[in-house]
Amino acid sequence: MYNGLSGNRAGLLFLVVVIIAFTEGGLWVARKRANTSFPDNSLMSSASNLMSFRKGHARPEITEHPIPTLMAEAETKYRDLLAKQSRTLAEAVKEYNRRYGRNPPQGFDDWWRFAQENHVVMIDEYDNINEDLAPFWTLSGEEMRERAFLAGNLPSIDLVRVRNGKATAVNIRDGPASSAVSARARGFLQIIEKFQDKLPDLDFPINAMAEGRILVPWEQRVRPNMTSGTDVVQNELSGMYSPDWRGEGNVWEAYRRTCDPGTPARRLFSSSRAGSSVSRASHLIASTQEFVFAPDVSKNYSFCENPWAHYDQGHFFSDWRTIPVLFPIFSPAQAPGYADIRIPSHYYYGQTRRYTYGYDPVNLILKEVDGMETPWEMKSDKIFWRGASTGGGSSPPGFAAQYQRHRLVRMASDKSNTTRTLVFADPPGSTHYVYVEVPTVELNADVMDVAFVKVVDWYNFPGGLDGLIAAHRFDDGGVNLGDHWRHKYLVDVDGMGYSGRFFAFLESDSAVIKSTVYREFFSDWIQPWLHYIPLSQSYQEIYNIHAFFSGAPLSALQAVNSTALSTPRRPTDGDRRLRRIARAGKQWKRTVGRRVDMEAYVYRLCLEYARLLADDRGAMDFEL
């Protein structure tokens, strides 16, 4: 397809310096979703038709719990999604034309055969690819090839190269030795192995970091030709580009420049006042979200409209500089506003003891049932999480206490005299719902089993190591992945980036409660409230989630002197519903989240990407 840089090389090399000059200035919301944008409700759960209340105000009478409705709607939505998938190549081509207004890319028939031979369920649901690549249609094929090559000169970017049907991974900055190539690049190399011979010559810049990289300023999105990205690349090649912030700015300052000039994030005062605005926002969440259940939490964030919310997200404090130029960088996840192109995580595709359910490290095989799996009836009813005290960088320092994991552990470790409002049926199984204020210390003892098992970056925490230990529970014993399977509830939260354990959690016979701001390659393939339980970024509703599925804890029953205290505790309808979610998640992982499904996604992405890099894109169309 091409043999390196064209004659514009000198001019284009002028392209990698803008990465430095614009780095402090910020990035653009590089990717503009086709006809849609992220809602403006930030960290608040989206549940307009559900019951909610505020402490001190009149509480509505509840005769029907909202969770069964959410579950029923989710099942119907997913069943309809499966039913409408194309059954023939002709149908798939027609559906492609309907969705995107153009023909599929060359090689679409080969991809179709690959999908059919491997029993791929999702045939039409690849809107993520269209969304991720949409901004690049403004560039010519020559510009795309140049930017793909030049991106390989940036810090923590590897190149997976296809030449003459054979793929290799290299790191231009650190040398060709395999040790210099990241695990993410090696994982991508494995994914394309089956169909590499069907691809033209291509360069795939692979992000070696967990954090997103591409943020392009709003002005550059509106007037993309006002600044050449070559300037940034030129500066990088000359050695002037620092890969981290080093006190010369931060991700948030770069991110807010991706926002429309009229949004609060672009008004310096509203986006920088950390004190009172954050505390008021946190109080608002705490007082309104305890009985609000989010239909889906991965699409409900607008940090541009709600700049205070960025203090609760570790990726805004990453030490690694973002890139303010539209380069085609392939990353495992994408937060709102970033322009990285999504690919499957190497944690999902690879097979390791730390990230794979049923992996036998002795015989190097996968078992159908993990050796540490526990029968459902013997699993603990407590909400379980273990992990390291990571979650963000230190640029600027002082905000680690608000990172995702720290907030979760601190909430579950709270031994204060404050109370939380629990809503549950009394007697169990009835439609008579009661409200009760339960002391947090008692509720956490009854419901939560959450702790750090590893100290990471303690020097970023206010008060240092002593402050970190004093405010959070630590489990000295350590936990293997298989230890999680002894619990019905597994919490999955973001760390430095997306969570790499999600697929393993799904495949276990436990129910996953997931909280994230990231969208991944499978986001349109999976259904919240069917395959997992979505959790808002405030985590406030988690106690009422537990109360619905497992019944009110002892502390709540005692508070209302419930008749359930004198009757034997039996499996409830909620417990059966919880197991249904656990089984649905496992089934999804084994039918839609397989390694071959990841290959099918990347295969189709490669075909679309190849067309973008062609000089004559029309010649790269597929027609029946």
How far from chain centre, in Å, is Cα 106?
Answer: 30
Average pLDDT, the chain: 85
pLDDT band at 44 (very low <50, low <70, confident <90, very high): very low
Q: What is the pLDDT of residue 173?
A: 82
Angstrom distance (rounded) from CA 146 to CA 144: 5
Angstrom distance (rounded) from CA 132 to CA 32: 8
Q: Is residue 285 a part of any domain in this protein? A: no
Q: Is the pLDDT at 232 greater than 70, yes or no?
A: no
> Are the beta carbons of 160 and 169 closer than 8 angstroms?
yes
Q: Is residue 305 a part of any domain in this protein? A: no
| Cα dist from 84 to 87, 97, 126, 500, whole Å | 9, 15, 14, 30
Angstrom distance (rounded) from CA 85 to CA 93: 12
Q: What is the pLDDT of residue 45?
A: 38
Q: Is residue 470 a part of any domain in this protein? A: yes
pLDDT band at 226 (very low <50, low <70, confident <90, very high): low
- The pTM score is 0.89
Q: Is the pLDDT at 2 greater than 80, yes or no?
A: no
Q: What is the pLDDT of residue 275?
A: 41
> Which tens digit of pLDDT belongs to each residue from 524-544?
999 999 999 999 989 999 999
Give the closest residue to 316 by CA, choosing from 268, 251, 405: 251
- Window from 12-16, 45-49, 607-611 with minimum mean pLDDT: 45-49
CATH of the domain at 494: 3.40.50
> Which tens digit of pLDDT belongs to each residue from 531-586?
999 999 899 999 999 999 999 999 999 999 988 888 877 778 999 999 999 999 99
Full 3-state SS string of 523-584: CCCCCECCCEEECCCCCCCHHHHHHHHHCCCHHHHHHCCCHHHHCCCCCCHHHHHHHHHHHH
Q: What percent of the chain has pLDDT over 90?
A: 67
Amino acid making up residue 358? G
pLDDT band at 180 (very low <50, low <70, confident <90, very high): confident
pLDDT band at 340 (very low <50, low <70, confident <90, very high): very high
Angstrom distance (rounded) from CA 70 to CA 47: 10
Q: Is the pLDDT at 436 greater than 80, yes or no?
A: yes
Angstrom distance (rounded) from CA 225 to CA 472: 50
Q: What is the pLDDT of residue 239?
A: 55
Overall domain count for the chain: 1
State both tokens at 570.
């039996």
> Which tens digit of pLDDT belongs to each residue from 67-96?
999 999 999 999 999 999 999 999 999 999
Alpha helices in 401-449 (DSSP H): 404-413, 440-447
Q: What is the pLDDT of residue 476?
A: 83
pLDDT band at 471 (very low <50, low <70, confident <90, very high): very high
Q: Is residue 610 a part of any domain in this protein? A: no
Q: What is the pLDDT of residue 63?
A: 82
Q: Strands 157-163 and 166-170: what pairing?
A: antiparallel
- Window from 7-21, 277-291, 553-567 with minimum mean pLDDT: 7-21
Give the closest residue to 254 by CA, choosing from 27, 488, 31: 27
Which residues, in sequence order, are CB contacts of 348 under 8 Å at separation 6+? 355, 500, 502, 503, 593, 598
DSSP-derived secondary structure for 4-17: S--TTHHHHHTSBB
Mean pLDDT score, 169-186: 82
Name the residue range of residue 432's domain.
Answer: 372-594
Q: What is the pLDDT of residue 39?
A: 30
> Which tens digit of pLDDT belongs to each residue from 489-514?
999 999 989 999 999 999 999 999 99
Q: What percent of the chain has pLDDT over 70?
A: 83
Amino acid making up residue 548? F
Q: Is residue 99 a part of any domain in this protein? A: no
Element (H, E) at 493: strand 487-493
pLDDT band at 238 (very low <50, low <70, confident <90, very high): low
Q: Is residue 112 a part of any domain in this protein? A: no
Q: Is residue 196 a part of any domain in this protein? A: no
Report the length, in residues, of the chain.
624
State both tokens at 461.
């925490």
- Window from 57-71, 333-347, 393-407 with minimum mean pLDDT: 57-71
Q: Is residue 561 a part of any domain in this protein? A: yes
